Structure 1
Amino acid sequence: MLGEYLKQYRTINGMTQADLAVKLSVSQNAISQYETGKRCPPISRIANISKILGCSVSQIVSDSGT
């Protein structure tokens, strides 16, 4: 589910995978793998993602904020 919520909030913010990757200093492939569930980002990266996307960690992890 994390991948679905990550993609949802990234899209809401008008960002591409490449845009988010640049802001996180990771590859676009890493973002793709997070969104497809092939890889799970470390909690510290999830915290950075939530800051960049303007949502809480709980929203990225479980979408409990909506």
Structure 2
Amino acid sequence: MFPNRLRTLRNDRSWTQADLASKINVSPKTIGAWERGTREPPIETITKLSDIFDVSADYLLGKTTQKNTISTTETDDILTMYKIDTRGLTEDEIDDMREELEEYNDFMTKRLQEKIAKKRLLRKDC
């Protein structure tokens, strides 16, 4: 899971392996090995990558589909955040709903970030 997540996050930013390598002081070949799954980064590097991509280490390692950790003081759960009534649903159905909402949340976040970036570019052109 880590190789795919790393490649996707890097590609989402239109960075080459060399671009990412320069940000964390490793060689592009090292990035390639991580993305192929033939090598794994040390924990310190996972922390750097989490910071660079603004995602949790758990997301990078494939332990969650949620990119950022939401504090339980903010919301107990994404279902609570969206005020979803789960009465009568099985645990599998609830898990499926959670996953769909997290994907939707990620999609909307990315969409809004793209809109903001476009507006900033338009302001620079003026």
Length-normalised TM-score, structure 2: 0.50
User: Can you give the 5+ residue segments of structure 1 that lack an aligned partner in the other structure?
Assistant: none
The separation in 1 between residues aligned to 2:30 and 2:56, in whole angstroms, is 21
The separation in 2 between residues aligned to 1:54 and 1:13, in whole angstroms, is 12
Deviation at 1:11, TM superposition (A): 1.1
Output the amino acid matched with 1:10: R
Which position in structure 1 is the counterpart of 2:45?
Answer: 45
Length-normalised TM-score, structure 1: 0.91
Q: Which has the larger radius of gyration?
A: 2
Structure 1 ranges of 4+ moved more than 4 A: none
User: Can you give the 5+ residue segments of structure 2 that lack an aligned partner in the other structure?
Assistant: 67-101, 103-126
Equivalent pairs counted in the alignment come to 66
The separation in 2 between residues aligned to 1:19 and 1:13, in whole angstroms, is 10
Native 8 Å contact 1:13 1:53 kept in 2:
no
Output the amino acid matched with 2:33: Q
Which position in structure 2 is the counterpart of 1:32?
Answer: 32
Query: How many percent of aligned residue pairs carry the same amino acid?
Result: 35
Which position in structure 2 is the counterpart of 1:56?
Answer: 56
Native 8 Å contact 1:5 1:63 kept in 2:
no
Which position in structure 2 is the counterpart of 1:22?
Answer: 22
